[in-house]
Amino acid sequence: MHDRMLAAVNPTRAPLAALPEDIALPALDESWRIEYLSTKTGRIGVMMEQSGRLTVYGAVTDHDACRAVLIRWLKCRTREELVPWLYRLAEQNGFRFSEVLVRGQKTRWASCSSKGTISLSYKLLFLERDSVRCVLLHELCHTALMNHSRRFWTLLCGLEPNCKAIHKRMRDGWKQVPAWVEGRIERGPSEKGFVWQKGGTR
Ligand SMILES: [Zn+2]
């Protein structure tokens, strides 16, 4: 369902941001130091060298491409970590869903369709673990009840007693998503290079 409960992004935001030197992922309890390595290879890639170090290599003066590759990496971490977490929670609590997609929704942390397809935003990586768990349980509850009725909340609160407090706290959760993630690069008219603007490219 188009989930107003899990609205993620404040549309009035207008960030100006450079590429990140660090990426903290509270959902995974991880923090990454990013290095940009200019190499002659035409394409841009990303390498997880050792725990906590990430190297973006290639034509790194192309900030747009750097950002795209970092977002691809975020989607990858979501598939590696949050998707299996969703499967575990489904199994533990007796829910079934048909498939799970990782996306970059502009305004939702997650959603569940009437056909049982759960979509997760990679931006969940920037929330605390208890918030993410609550979002995953919220969508799993929608596989049983496609509404926010009293029965829905009874079901969700039975699985996560703090769910209402967590949802309330998550109203400000969009602030935890770094500007470089939400920003869209536009090539400026001058030598100054790139300008980040509000809005996504997904
Ligand atoms: Zn919902």
Q: Which residue ranges make up each domain of the chain?
A: 4-10+21-184
Which pTM value belongs to this model?
0.83
Average pLDDT, the chain: 85
Q: How far is the CA of 22 from the centre of ligand 1 (A)?
A: 32
Q: The tokens 């609205």 sit on which residue?
A: 7
Q: How far is the CA of 110 from the centre of ligand 1 (A)?
A: 9
Cα–Cα nearest to 92, from 28, 122, 136 = 136
The 10s digit of each residue's pLDDT in 152-188 is 999 999 999 999 999 999 988 999 999 999 875 444 3
Q: How far is the CA of 145 from the centre of ligand 1 (A)?
A: 9
Cα–Cα nearest to 178, from 131, 132, 122 = 122
The 10s digit of each residue's pLDDT in 103-112 is 998 889 999 9
Which numeric CATH code is attached to 4-10+21-184? 3.30.2010.10
Contact 89, 137 (CB under 8 A): yes
Give the three-class secondary structure for 155: helix
The 10s digit of each residue's pLDDT in 67-83 is 999 999 999 999 999 99
Q: What's residue 182's pLDDT?
A: 83
Q: What's residue 189's pLDDT?
A: 33
Amino acid at 43: R
**HSE-up of 24 (CA within 13 Å, CB side)?**
7
Percent of the chain with pLDDT over 70: 83
Cα–Cα distance measured from residue 102 to residue 7, given in angstroms and rounded to the nearest whole number: 16
Cα–Cα distance measured from residue 36 to residue 34, given in angstroms and rounded to the nearest whole number: 7
**Could you tell me the pLDDT band of residue 4, with boundaries at 50, 70 and 90?**
low
Amino acid at 120: L
Q: How far is the CA of 112 from the centre of ligand 1 (A)?
A: 8
Q: How far is the CA of 146 from the centre of ligand 1 (A)?
A: 8
Q: How far is the CA of 68 from the centre of ligand 1 (A)?
A: 29
